[in-house]
């Protein structure tokens, strides 16, 4: 199949550029992961060390020219880190919800202790009363413990005798010991109000997303003071607002992550448009602007355009260098002419009346090539010789494929036509005989 061909070429430089963009996206994902987990308090130094070690492993794949492995493994690592962000955020939200529920239980215990002390006529020191109304979980726990001591009788009854203790131990043999704290914790979970539990979880999500939940504090306090029968009604609007705020915060975090990825990819591009867009993205990452989604779209369009332009330039350069090594005449500026005119003709130095025509590659990654004749289209040609030159071009094309592969790229044929299926295309130009006559005339005109 040595007639006109359409082919695709992927150069080594193009593959390396793709891998570097993948590694840049991985760096951005690691930054998102690290910031999110530090904000949630769910990360330790050993977690960071493992991720960094994995990143260094992937970088070494690029140095080892293991391009396919790198692309597959980078995609897997990015997916893992994004999933891990979600899992850690969920655990942080659950922990925050449990903390709020524990604080609510402790406040209820403090209220109960105060009521019991007042009913018993026991004088409570002013300082302890202040502590029992504290908003701090640790201070409340300590205050409740002190208050309980006040409820103990001044003269405790005589302790249990040894025989009684031994009998109790035999009767309770094999039974698990349950502490008061364990019992209270299980009892509170079994009777937890579903409305307040939902509110607590949403507040935990807000905190894990880095959003200050304090604007909802007054409404939450009011909800907690309502009777259980009314809490569902009162909570409806609060839950709607909390859910909407969480959704907005999640979208903001997603856009920030997307912007960091685009920022990492654009950092490898030096065009004025890329530099200007990088400045806009840096501003959006510094403060919420409402333009994040638009910046992501602009970045995608610019990255796609620049990647295609760089790849097309590399393909043209690789093909022209390969044909130069096969004996075709390539002059300076030929690559530019190819872009401008959509095609370029290369003469075969050993057979000046023949060459190849290259076209395509501007709007897509598909290139076309065909053997051509050079001369006067009105002059009769040697059809047998034309056919032989097409056949020779077939072998040269295979050598071009081998050269591209040796350089670390690939060249694949998409369509090809048999020799002679189409007449050899003739490009107007001086024939070899005419060039020889011109050269001979110049020699005769030289002074002797």
* pLDDT single digits (tens) 363-389: 778 899 999 999 888 888 888 898 888
Rg of the chain in Å (alpha carbons): 39
Tens digit of each residue's pLDDT, the chain (448 residues)? 456 889 999 999 999 999 999 999 999 999 999 999 999 888 999 999 999 999 999 999 999 999 999 999 999 999 999 999 999 999 999 998 888 888 888 877 777 877 887 788 787 787 777 777 766 777 777 887 777 777 766 555 555 556 655 665 655 555 555 444 553 454 444 445 788 889 989 999 998 888 988 888 888 888 888 777 777 777 888 999 999 999 999 999 999 999 999 999 999 888 999 999 999 999 998 887 788 999 999 999 999 998 888 889 999 999 999 999 999 999 888 988 898 888 999 999 888 889 999 998 777 788 999 999 998 888 888 888 988 888 888 889 999 999 999 988 899 999 888 877 778 889 887 765 544 443 344 334 444 4
Provide the domain count of the chain.
Answer: 1
Beta bridge partners of 412: 8
Q: Answer yes or no: are the C-beta atoms of 131 and 140 closer than 8 Å.
A: yes
Residue 177 lies in a domain: no
Whose CA is closest to 349, among 396, 279, 403, 302?
A: 396
Q: Answer yes or no: are the C-beta atoms of 352 and 329 closer than 8 Å.
A: no
Residue 147 lies in a domain: no
| Distance separating alpha carbons of residues 96 and 90, to the nearest angstrom | 10
Residue 413 lies in a domain: yes
Q: Are strands 425-428 and 366-375 parallel, antiparallel or unpaired?
A: parallel
What does pTM read for this prediction?
A: 0.74
Residue 387 lies in a domain: yes
Give me the domain span that covers residue 320: 5-9+311-445
How many residues comprise the chain? Answer: 448
| Distance separating alpha carbons of residues 57 and 74, to the nearest angstrom | 10
Residue 294 lies in a domain: no
Residue 151 lies in a domain: no
Residue 170 lies in a domain: no
Residue 392 lies in a domain: yes
């Amino acid at each position: 199949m040595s007639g006109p061909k359409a082919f695709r070429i992927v150069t080594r430089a193009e593959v390396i550029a793709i891998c570097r963009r993948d590694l840049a996206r991985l760096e951005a994902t690691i930054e998102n992961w690290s910031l999110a987990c530090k904000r949630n308090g769910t990360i330790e130094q050993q977690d960071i060390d493992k991720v960094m070690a994995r990143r260094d492993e992937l970088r070494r794949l690029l140095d080892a020219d293991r391009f396919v492995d790198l692309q597959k493994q980078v995609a897997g690592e990015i997916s893992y880190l994004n999933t891990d962000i979600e899992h850690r955020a969920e655990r942080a939200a659950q922990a925050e919800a449990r903390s709020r529920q524990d604080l609510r239980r402790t406040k209820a215990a403090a209220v109960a202790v105060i009521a019991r002390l007042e009913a018993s006529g026991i004088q409570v020191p002013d300082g302890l009363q202040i502590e029992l109304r504290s908003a701090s979980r640790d201070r409340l726990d300590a205050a409740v413990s002190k208050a309980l001591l006040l409820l103990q009788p001044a003269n405790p009854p005589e302790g249990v005798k040894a025989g009684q203790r031994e009998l109790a131990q035999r009767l309770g043999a094999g039974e698990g010991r349950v502490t008061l704290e364990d019992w209270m914790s299980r009892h509170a979970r079994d009777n937890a109000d579903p409305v307040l539990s939902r509110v607590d979880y949403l507040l935990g999500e807000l905190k894990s997303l880095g959003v200050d939940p304090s604007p909802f504090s007054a409404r939450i306090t009011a909800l907690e003071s309502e009777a259980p029968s009314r809490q569902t009604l009162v909570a409806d609007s609060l839950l709607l607002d909390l859910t909407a705020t969480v959704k907005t915060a999640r979208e903001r975090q997603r856009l920030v992550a997307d912007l960091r990825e685009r920022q990492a990819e654009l950092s490898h591009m030096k065009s004025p448009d890329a530099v200007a867009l990088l400045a806009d993205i840096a501003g959006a990452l510094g403060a919420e602007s409402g333009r994040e989604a638009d910046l992501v779209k602009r970045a995608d369009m610019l990255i796609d355009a620049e990647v295609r332009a760089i790849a097309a330039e590399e393909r043209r350069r690789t093909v022209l260098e390969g044909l130069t090594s096969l004996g075709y005449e390539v002059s300076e500026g030929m690559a530019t002419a190819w872009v401008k005119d959509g095609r370029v003709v290369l003469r075969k130095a050993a057979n000046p009346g023949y060459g190849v025509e290259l076209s395509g590659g501007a709007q897509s990654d598909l290139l076309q090539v065909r053997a051509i004749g050079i001369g006067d289209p009105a002059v009769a040609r040697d059809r047998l010789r034309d056919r032989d030159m097409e056949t020779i071009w077939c072998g040269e094309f295979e050598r071009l494929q081998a050269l591209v592969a040796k350089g670390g790229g690939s060249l694949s044929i998409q369509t090809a036509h048999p020799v002679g299926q189409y007449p050899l295309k003739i490009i107007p130009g001086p024939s070899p005989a005419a060039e020889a006559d011109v050269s001979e005339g110049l020699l005769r005109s030289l002074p002797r």
